[in-house]
Chain A
Amino acid sequence: MPPSQCFPGFALLALDRAAHHSIASRSLLALPHTPRFSTSAPRYGPPPRKGMVAPPKRGTKTLNVKKGKSSPSRDTTKRPAPGDRKALRKRIVLSNNNALEVPTLQDLHKDTVLSGENEGLVKGLPEDVVDALRAVEAFKPTQGWRLFRRPAILMRKETTLLAALFREVEGTANGQAKMTVRKVLIGERMSGKSTMLLQGLTMAFMRDWVVVNLPDAKDITIAHTEYAPLPGSQPTQYTQDIYTANLLSQIAKANQSILGNLPVTTNHSLPIPLPSKSTLKQLAELAITNPEASWPIFVALWKELTQPGRPPIMLAIDNLSHIMRNSEYLSADVKPIHAHDLALVRHFVDRLAGKTPLPNGGMILAATSGSNAPTSPALDFSIQVAEARQLNPESIPQWNPYKNVDQRVMECLKDVGVLKVAGLTKAEARSIMEYYAASGMLRAQVTEPFVTEKWSLAGMGNIGELERVSVRLRV
């Protein structure tokens, strides 16, 4: 027997003491309860369960760090309802009652919107155009519309270039084939690419073009909307019915004045009956109630719009790099679906590549994004090539032959043009800062040194940074 086990327990000691009465009265170990003869029962018994510890004495304070329902420090405030936070995040606010009305601000006019005389001026957007732009989700929550009394845009140098393209499209003589302009907007982060797209949409609305805007390519490809294979397509394409239905309703709402006047001219084999003598607006609105038929309706609408004698079309997309890669959708054999296999994206990309021209003329604009852009090496390379083609055609970069290439993207962007949205000039910066000051959002005297300082700090006139430096981060 090892000596540690031989050691007599306290109970046994107490037993010994009890034998000697003289010591027992003074002993500290004199236990009140009856002495045990064995200690093996508690030793071999199960360990005390966790909750079985004796409760604290009455009146003592104990630390309670429990989580969950019984926690004393639980946050009992009301949580926002599901979807509230997202709604708050995506909310578009287009006016600020605290900003001053700018008396010198004049609205754009249909006749002068394409002329170069507006360059360097801040112009207000007319109400109906604002409604239409809102309908096609051209305003983005990150843009600074909520800072001013009403939406206004700076007609910068690139805007004038874009207006010149509009004039070219509209100016083609009747006999010639109508022109289709295909451009990708590129530039630094916050340099105003999405706003340039919005300016293009504005001009299209004001010149009575039909506008089809895909507000964010990300929504199409990140697999947040349902999809289904398109029957009879080889290779398989995928339609997104809910998204297309929503897009059609946006088109109908934004272009209601034009589409309401255009009658359906050809017979379409639609899965749902179309009332005779209906307009294109009614055709588009059919998709709201029948989303499952939205793709045939979209195709039918497009076919109607490309009939001779119809207005030019403005087709735009923001955040281009999302559709220049594999989408998040999976095919039936669990392979990623390339974004170009989505029917809606394919429709856009064919026009962007120039595969299917617009018979009535028009413009296809795609804006890249600086802040939410997944890597798409083929897109980056194609943009480099397109830039080189414009600036120095003798030295065009070559794709590294040892790297895999997304051939579909290269094919699509083979001969697309780019419009570089660079920094503002100092005159433009001064113009917009005077607008900021007149709105009461910039409390400083707009002088030459002040403008130069902000222009430099904004990275040579990057307009988003300029707004941040002078309006948002005001000390």
Chain B
Amino acid sequence: MVRGELSQSLRRAIESLGNLPRPQCDRTIRYPRRRCQLSTIRCISTSAPRHAELVNDTPEKFTAAPPINFEQQDAKGGKGGGKQLLRTLRVVPASPSYFSAKPTFTDDFISLQALLRKVATLPVVPPSEAPKVAWKTIDQYRIMTNEPVKTQRFHKMIHILRRLNCIHPSLMPEEVLQAMQRYKKASQPGDIKPKPGIIDELGRAKGVGRRKTSSAVAWLVEGEGEVLINGKSLTQFFGRLHDRESVVWALKATQRLDKYNVWGLTAGGGVTGQAEALTLAVAKALLVHEPALKPALRRAGCITRDPRKVERKKPGHVKARKMPTWVKR
């Protein structure tokens, strides 16, 4: 619950003392307000709020409620005095889930359910065609709300969100988009788009690839299957047949070996690393010429960069994992 909320409701309760015999929480007022404060951070913890890197919006400033002036209240309320007034005072939190362990989560969940009820009749697309969204993980959500949310409950909420995301994109209400924004990760898949490759005036397409500590650049032109790596022929540069096949694998797997010539430059690392860096470079250059080959190249394993590297040595170990030999005494 927002820190200000309790103090505000306290103040409001005291103000309403004069008007009402018994103060009650006014649902019609509170609900919309809570909804518009959804994006603010709420903490019930007395410890300092964690400004986690995952929470990008700043919590609102804490403002304590002004002290209750009983004399004034007495004068307004008339007979009874301060004691009488205190007896009638009952502080009601803004959210009905304030006394549950996870008020923010409960509020979120209920509001999403209400939203889904509202838009349930809108046409949907199958989940595979819905726009790809990276939802916050449960850990990120826990840090954001600072509440011990259970995994199962969180998954139920994500389920609702997925259903909301399946609404036909052309009919997607603005309200739903706003609500989903809270649960999305900061960066979404497809946010970073690489610059499209170009074929220059000489008909060359460039591709860059890396593997282990090797890096490679390949220029692909239309031709009849000639390959030069660092100015040498394939056989002079790579002694192993396997490495030679790795270099031209992207072309071989797509039956384009006799249609292109390759100029490659490679540096760093070892022989196999250089060959496999060239695989990626040639594949990327081929994609510039023929973008439609991407699925075929992905099936051939030429798109994904192999992220494996040499594991670092650790203190106390002989190598990355190896422990020193056990010695008696």
Task: Judge if A453 is at the interface, Cβ distance under 8 Å.
Answer: yes
A462-B235 contact in complex given A452-B257, A456-B257, A473-B241, C-beta closer than 8 Å: yes
Which B residue's beta carbon lies closest to that of A453?
B257
Determine the residue in chain A with the shortest Cβ distance to B258: A452
| Bound Cα distance from A129 to B149, whole angstroms | 91
Q: Which residues of chain B are within 8 angstroms of A426 by Cβ–Cβ distance? A: 224
Which listed residue (B245, B255, B258) contacts A457, Cβ 8 A?
B245
Q: Which of B30-38, B169-177, B226-234, B316-324 contacts A (4 or more CB under 8 A)?
A: B226-234
B236 within 8 A of A: yes
Residues of A contacting B233 in the complex (Cβ-Cβ under 8 angstroms): 188, 423, 459-460, 462
User: Most B CB atoms within 10 A — which of A188, A423, A449, A456?
Assistant: A456
Partner of B236, one of A456, A459, A468, A469: A459
Complex contacts, B148 vs chain A, CB 8 Å: none
CA–CA, A395 to B178, complex, Å? 72
Is the beta-carbon distance between B227 and A460 smaller than 8 angstroms? yes
CA distance A1 to B255 in the complex (A): 94
With a 10 A CB-CB cut-off, give which of B226, B227, B233, B257 has the most chain A CB atoms.
B233
A469 to B235 alpha-carbon distance, docked (Å)? 11
CB neighbours (8 Å) of A413 from chain B are none
B225 within 8 A of A: yes
Q: Which residue of A lies closest to B244 (CB)?
A: A457
Answer whether residue A206 sits at the interface, using C-beta atoms and an 8 A cutoff.
no
A457: shortest Cβ distance to chain B, in Å? Answer: 5
Q: Which of B225, B241, B244, B245 contacts A452 (CB 8 A)?
A: B225
Contacts A452-B225, A468-B241, A473-B241 given; does A459 touch B257 at CB 8 Å: no
Q: Which of A171-230 contact B (CB under 8 A)?
A: 188-190
Contact assessment for B234 and A456 in the assembled complex, using a CB-CB cutoff below 8 Å: yes
A318 lies within 8 A of chain B by Cβ: no
Assess the A456–B248 pair: CB atoms within 8 A. Answer: yes
Residue of B nearest to A451 (CB): B258
Instruction: Please tell me if the beta carbons of A188 and B235 are within 8 angstroms of each other in the complex.
Output: yes
Residues of A within 8 Å of B255, CB to CB, are 449
Q: Which of A190, A457, A468 contacts B234 (CB 8 A)?
A: A457
Mark interface residues in B213-246 (1 if CB within 8 Å of A CB, else 0): 0000000000011110000011110000100110
A448 to B224, CA, bound (A): 12
| Chain A residues whose C-beta falls within 8 Å of the C-beta of B90 in the assembled complex | none
Q: Which residues of A contact B236 (CB under 8 A)?
A: 188-189, 459
- Interface presence of A458 (CB below 8 A): yes
A-B contact count (CB 8 A): 50
Beta-carbon contacts under 8 Å, B177-235 to A: 224-227, 233-235
A436 within 8 A of B: no
Cβ–Cβ < 8 Å partners of A459 in chain B: 227, 233-236, 244
- With the chains together, A468 CA to B255 CA distance in Å? 22
Q: Is B252 an interface residue (CB 8 A)?
A: yes
- Chain A residues whose C-beta falls within 8 Å of the C-beta of B248 in the assembled complex: 456-457
Q: Give the CA-CA distance A458 to B236 in the complex, in Å.
A: 10
Out of A188, A189, A448, A456, which one reaches B227, CB within 8 Å? A456
Give the docked Cα–Cα distance between A426 and B236 (Å).
19
By a CB distance below 8 angstroms, the chain B residues around A473 are 241
B interface residues, tally (CB under 8 Å): 16
> CA of A198 to CA of B237 in the docked complex: distance in angstroms?
27
Chain B hits for A468, CB < 8 A: 241
A452 to B224, CA, bound (A): 8
Q: Does A455 contact B (CB under 8 A)?
A: yes
Chain A residues positioned under 8 Å from B241 (CB to CB)? 457, 468-469, 473
Q: What is the bound-complex CA distance between A473 and B258, given in angstroms?
A: 22
Q: Is A465 close to B, CB under 8 A? A: yes
- Complex Cα distance A469/B238, Å? 13
Contact A449 B257 (CB under 8 A): yes
With the chains together, A426 CA to B257 CA distance in Å? 13
Contact of A460 among B226, B252, B257 (CB under 8 A): B226
A153-181 vs B, Cβ < 8 Å mask (1 yes, 0 no): 00000000000000000000000000000
Q: Does the CB pair A456–B235 fall under 8 Å?
A: no
CB distance from A425 to the nearest CB of B (A): 10
Contact between chains at A465 and B225 (CB < 8 Å): no
A462 to B252, CA, bound (A): 19
Quick one: closest A residue to B242, CB to CB? A473
Closest to B225 in A: A456
Q: How far is the CA of A190 from the CA of B225 in the complex (A)?
A: 20
With A449-B258, A469-B241 as contacts: A455 and B235 at CB distance below 8 Å: no
Complex Cα–Cα for A453 and B251 (A): 10
Minimal Cβ-Cβ distance residue in B for A459: B235
Q: Please give, as numbers and ranges, the residues of chain B lying within 8 Å of A457 by CB-CB distance.
A: 234, 241, 244-245, 248
Using CB atoms, name the residue of chain A closest to B229. Answer: A459
Q: Hey, which chain B residues are within 8 Å of A458, CB to CB?
A: 235
A319 CA to B244 CA, complexed, in Å: 28
CB distance from B235 to the nearest CB of A (A): 3
**Shortest CB–CB separation between residue B97 and chain A, in angstroms?**
68
Minimum Cβ distance to chain B for residue A304 (Å):
45
| List of B residues within 8 angstroms of A423 by Cβ | 233
Q: Which residues of A contact B225 (CB under 8 A)?
A: 452-453, 455-456
Closest to A452 in B: B258
A residues 435-475 with Cβ under 8 Å of B? 448-449, 452-453, 455-460, 462, 465, 468-469, 473
CB distance from B186 to the nearest CB of A (A): 46
Q: Which residues between 121 and 142 of chain A lie within 8 Å of chain B, taking CB atoms? A: none
Cβ distance B80 to chain A, nearest Cβ, rounded Å: 98
**Nearest Cβ on chain A to B146's Cβ, whole angstroms:** 61
Give the Cβ gap from B45 to chain A, nearest Cβ, in Å. Answer: 66
CA distance A190 to B226 in the complex (A): 18
Chain A residue, CB-CB nearest to B262: A456
Q: Which residue of A lies closest to B252 (CB)?
A: A453
Taking the closest CB of chain A, its distance from the CB of B107, in whole angstroms, is 64
What is the chain A residue whose CB lies nearest that of B248?
Answer: A456
- Which chain A residue lies CB-closest to B259? A452
B257 surroundings in chain A (CB, below 8 A): 449, 452-453, 456
Interface residues of A in 405-426 (CB under 8 A from B): 423, 426
- Measured CA separation A459–B238 after assembly (Å): 10
* B259 vs chain A, min Cβ distance (A): 9
* Chain A: CB-nearest residue to B238: A459
Task: Using A452-B225, A457-B241, A473-B241 as known contacts, list a sample of 9 further A-B pairs with CB atoms less than 8 Å apart, ordered by residue number in A.
Answer: A189-B236, A426-B224, A449-B258, A452-B257, A453-B225, A457-B245, A459-B233, A459-B235, A465-B235
What are 6 A-B pairs with beta-carbon distances under 8 A? A188-B235, A189-B236, A452-B258, A453-B225, A456-B227, A468-B241
Q: State the B residues within 8 Å of A (CB).
A: 224-227, 233-236, 241, 244-245, 248, 252, 255, 257-258
CB-CB nearest 4 A-B residue pairs: A459-B235, A459-B233, A452-B258, A456-B225
